[in-house]
A = this chain, B = another copy of it.
Amino acid sequence: MKPKFQKPDRLRRLREVIENDPFITDKELACAFGVSIQTIRLDRLELGIPESRERTRRLAEEATNKVRSVETGEVIGDLIHVKLGQEGISVLETDKDMAFQRTSIVRGHHIFAQANSLAVALVDAEIALTGTATIKYLRPVRAGERLVAKAEVLSRSGRRHVVKVTTKIGHDDVFTGEFIVFAVEEPGGCGEDSRRGFD
């Protein structure tokens, strides 16, 4: 009972192929696997894989959401609590997309980004820019761990703010940083609405 390419084998491969080329059509798949279109359709049915247009649509939907959440959000992570000019807490759920595939260790700049944007968000000014930062990574973060960053404004003289950020996973410190953040005036002065500015 061994034709050449057995069914379970084909199913596994099929799943993989579709996984990393969701745009592929049944016809192309049939051709690639040397079977009929109907077989491919039955296989998809069995695997619960939707048709190519549906796959494309989902990808597009998901991706637009992702882009929105990554790029439109002014702060990296969720702002849980803020006392402007004083303190704040932000939570960031890490996932494997933030990590190196090989090690599942979260890339440093994500941890930095959370802390930095929190520090900047605390400064009560039209625009705030990070000037200097001294940071320490205390232990590696694995994908899936929840980062809780607490920030505190240590001192302020004029437009210069010193913000201390400590990021924890549970009770474990994983990161600390001291950010010198400067408040800046509105630049052109032609802003139509005047919400707070970050970084």
Contacts and interface: CB of A to CB of B under 8 A. Distances in A.
Contact of A74 (B100, B113, B129, B133): B100
A67 interface: yes
B107 A199 contact: yes
A102 to B, nearest CB: 6
Interface in A16-68: 22-23, 53, 56-57, 59-64, 66-67
Contacts of A117: 107, 109
A129 B98 CA distance: 15
Contact of A53 (B22, B53, B70): B53
Interface stretch (A7-15, A134-142, A147-155, A156-164): A134-142
A144 interface: no
A187 interface: yes
A142 B113 CA distance: 18
Given A59-B60, A108-B116, A103 B197 contact: yes
Given A63-B64, A63-B66, A197-B102, A23 B132 contact: no
Given A23-B57, A71-B97, 11 more contacts: A23-B60, A53-B53, A60-B63, A63-B64, A102-B197, A105-B129, A109-B113, A112-B116, A132-B137, A133-B133, A133-B135
Interface of A: 22-23, 53, 56-57, 59-64, 66-67, 70-72, 74, 76, 97-98, 100-103, 105, 107-109, 112-113, 116-117, 120, 127, 129-137, 140, 187, 191, 195, 197-199
30 contacts: A23-B57, A23-B61, A53-B53, A56-B60, A59-B60, A59-B63, A59-B64, A60-B63, A100-B197, A100-B198, A100-B199, A102-B127, A102-B191, A102-B197, A107-B113, A107-B117, A107-B199, A108-B120, A109-B112, A112-B112, A112-B113, A113-B113, A129-B140, A130-B137, A131-B137, A132-B134, A133-B133, A133-B134, A133-B136, A134-B135
